[in-house]
């Protein structure tokens, strides 16, 4: 019986095999979050029955995911760069506080109406521009710059109302949390509108392609004359816009003004969980907005189901932490780059 001699692969064949293996692994990872989401829905449907499957709970989920979706969208673009933004909690608190003191309220004489929304969101965009500019021009890691701005922006928010928490008196704003269109909360429609804008930017603009390129290997963009620094600054500004809208919605959802200075506290953690659970790699260059939608649904449905079951909130937070750990482990495995930008 003749023995079959194994001939060594050529360089071309080895490269082709490597590409095939990488593509196969990426396909598995792309479907993994969808599988997790499906399992969660089926599990809670069986365990909780009508309590989970009711129309009222479906509406509650849609209402619950609006602000986390906005925060996660902004963070997604930053993570695609391979960077991180820790200013989320403070920026949202600042935006919410500015809105509270600039519309008709119980603490100040301002009554700017819709222009208060423009000012609140604009201030958040400005924060994003500052974070991005300092990061790229002074070459300070993004997590350090944004961490500093988390405290700066929270301080500005607290200073804006000087200890007298404003109660929103504008009837138009007070009506928004209870306004529905086609059975979906108005607040959720706003989040979905921002989602469509983000999908358009990512899928149909050169800027969206540049974001992926920076996260993959920014030297390629530099070689063709694209300003990598400008791309990074614009991404942080875009993130600031998303955080600002989230802050405005958070203030509107809480028109009595209780704790507007800390309204953003705790929003960064679930946003990061949603982004990485959806499959966006922390090293940058892989994932995106569509992945984040799945991630936000995973975190929101998990939170909703555990809440209905009466699980201790500290345990719920611990479960989210385990999800982040598992998701990060998976994204690091499929990327050899360091997570340090």
pLDDT of residue 243: 96
Please write the tens of the pLDDT for every residue from 114-134: 999 999 999 999 999 999 999
User: Is 143 exposed, middle or buried (CB count within 10 Å of its CB: 0-12, 13-18, 19+)?
Assistant: middle
CB 293 within 8 A of CB 29: no
The DSSP output letter for 177 is G
Tell me which residue range forms the domain holding 163: 38-46+54-333
Note whether residue 26 is domain-resident.
no
Query: Could you tell me which residue, 261 or 237, shows the higher pLDDT?
Result: 237
pTM as predicted: 0.87
Note whether residue 7 is domain-resident.
no
Which CATH number covers residue 150?
Answer: 1.10.3470
Distance CA 69, CA 300 (A): 9
Note whether residue 244 is domain-resident.
yes
**∠ CA 9-11-12 to the nearest 5 degrees?**
95
pLDDT of residue 15: 42
Distance CA 207, CA 185 (A): 31
Domain tally, the chain: 1
pLDDT for 258 beyond 70: no
Instruction: Tell me what the mean pLDDT of segment 148-164 comes to.
Output: 89
Note whether residue 8 is domain-resident.
no
Query: Could you tell me which residue, 31 or 8, shows the higher pLDDT?
Result: 31
pLDDT for 10 beyond 80: no
Note whether residue 338 is domain-resident.
no
CB 252 within 8 A of CB 187: yes
Note whether residue 90 is domain-resident.
yes
Instruction: Tell me what the mean pLDDT of segment 179-200 comes to.
Output: 94
Q: What is the mean pLDDT of the chain?
A: 84
């Amino acid at each position: 019986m003749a023995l079959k001699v194994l001939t060594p692969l050529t360089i071309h064949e080895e490269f082709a095999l490597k590409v095939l293996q990488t593509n196969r692994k990426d396909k598995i990872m792309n479907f993994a979050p969808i599988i997790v989401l499906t399992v969660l829905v089926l599990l809670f449907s069986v365990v909780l029955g009508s309590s989970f499957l009711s129309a009222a709970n479906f509406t509650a989920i849609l209402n619950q995911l609006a602000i986390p979706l906005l925060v996660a969208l902004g963070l997604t673009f930053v993570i695609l760069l391979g960077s991180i933004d820790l200013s989320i909690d403070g920026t949202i608190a600042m935006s919410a506080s500015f809105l509270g003191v600039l519309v008709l309220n119980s603490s100040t004489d301002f009554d700017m109406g819709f222009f208060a929304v423009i000012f609140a969101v604009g201030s958040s965009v400005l924060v994003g521009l500052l974070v991005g500019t300092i990061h790229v021009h002074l070459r300070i890691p993004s997590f350090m710059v944004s961490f500093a701005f988390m405290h700066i922006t929270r301080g500005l928010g607290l200073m804006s109302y000087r200890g007298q928490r404003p109660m929103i008196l504008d009837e138009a704003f007070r009506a928004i949390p209870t306004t529905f269109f086609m059975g979906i909360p108005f607040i959720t429609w706003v989040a979905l509108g921002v989602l469509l804008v983000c999908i358009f930017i990512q899928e149909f603009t050169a800027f969206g392609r540049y974001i992926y390129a920076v996260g993959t290997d920014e030297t390629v963009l530099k070689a063709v004359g694209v300003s990598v620094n400008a791309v990074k600054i614009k991404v942080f500004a875009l993130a600031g816009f998303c955080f600002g809208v989230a802050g405005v919605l958070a203030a509107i959802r809480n028109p009595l003004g209780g704790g507007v200075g800390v309204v953003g506290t705790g929003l960064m953690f679930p946003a990061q969980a949603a982004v990485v659970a959806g499959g966006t790699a922390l090293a940058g260059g892989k994932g995106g907005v569509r992945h984040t939608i799945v991630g936000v649904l995973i975190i929101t449905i998990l939170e909703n189901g555990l809440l209905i079951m009466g699980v201790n909130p500290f345990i719920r937070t611990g479960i989210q932490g385990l999800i982040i750990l598992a998701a990060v482990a998976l994204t690091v495995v499929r990327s050899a780059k360091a997570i340090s930008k």
